[in-house]
Amino acid sequence: MTDEELRNALQDFLVQRTGQQARVAALRQLAGGASCRVYSFELDGSGGHRTLVLRLDAVGGTAGNSEGTLRREEYELLAAAARAGVTVPAVHWCGDESEGLGGAFFVMDLVSGEAIARRLLRDQRYARTRSALPRDLARELARIHAVDIGDPRLAFLAERAAGGEDPRRFALAEVGKYRQLLAAFSGEQPYPLLTLVARWLEQHAPVLVRPALVHGDFRVGNVMFDEDGLTAVLDWELSHFGDPAEDLGWLCVRTWRFGSDDKPAGGLCSREELCRLYAEQGGSEVAPEALRFWELFGNWKWAIICRVQAARARAGRHPDVELATIGRRVAETEWEILELLEGRSAAAWLPRAQ
């Protein structure tokens, strides 16, 4: 489908859905993930002029990725988050493959700002943003974790949630998910450290009494910001019900510090400050051992994702240099895992191997 054909199909959809005259112009593809295409466009109609964003399934792909959500589900997640006060783009219309756009999709507001983490952590123009973001991130996490998981519009997440009575089942489910990915994409290459850590995680899975909505990919790089602070939380495709501490631990994974290793929480602040701010903004108290479990889990998860991306590149279906080079990061992440297991900074909370 050409851009002009897509523009016409989108315009026809909007006319039909709104029952009003509408003109779509300046359709332009933006950077997007592997699971969807992202376009900005101008909409003129009886409601005035607006700049909007179209999130559309990737060409030749399914409506969602193997671990993530469908476009309609992402639409419902953003709507639920907005109802809970999370800073997200407003969503407007949602459609499926039958609408003629070449896949499932939804339309949302365009949000100002950018999401390039290296600029955030290094550019002088974002000095004030770096000071504001720890509190902003803590506030958004607290609001995400306060989303009503009993909302029937989120029933698709309830259906996928870990069942049973084991109070560790949410952590065990996440470990099991990535253990399966490791097995599926390892090929003939052994990963003894990652296998060992999987066993450690299963043995030390934390108890959870009350699950919450977990964003699943909450990190620097998945939030938009400007010179004053956070402008939007993005990329909800890995959301699920589970332990709120998982989101805090993922934010502390070393990869998301982009060189600012003296500030473990996203290169912005300490773990202790993140937890303090999270509690001040209405989040529950996070036990140090739970945060550290999820930080270790996050590094292990990232190592597996790196391996999966490299395997996708080698298979030829996604011949992308970035995917191939991500595979080289398995080794550096394994080193970080060893630091967490045996390093001096971790000695107080992780038992050393006998």
Over residues 140-171, the pLDDT tens digits come to 999 999 999 999 999 999 999 999 999 999 99
pLDDT of the residue at 34: 58
In the chain, which stretches have pLDDT less than 50?
Answer: 62-68, 344-354
CB neighbours of residue 9 within 10 Å: 18
Determine the residue type at 254. Answer: R
Angle between helices 271-280 and 288-315 (to 10 degrees): 110
pTM of the model: 0.90
Chain segment 320-333, per-residue pLDDT in tens: 777 777 888 888 99
Which residues 6+ apart lie within 8 Å of 240 measured at CB? 157, 160, 161, 213, 214, 216
Domains of the chain with bracketed CATH: 3-109 (3.30.200.20), 118-346 (3.90.1200.10)
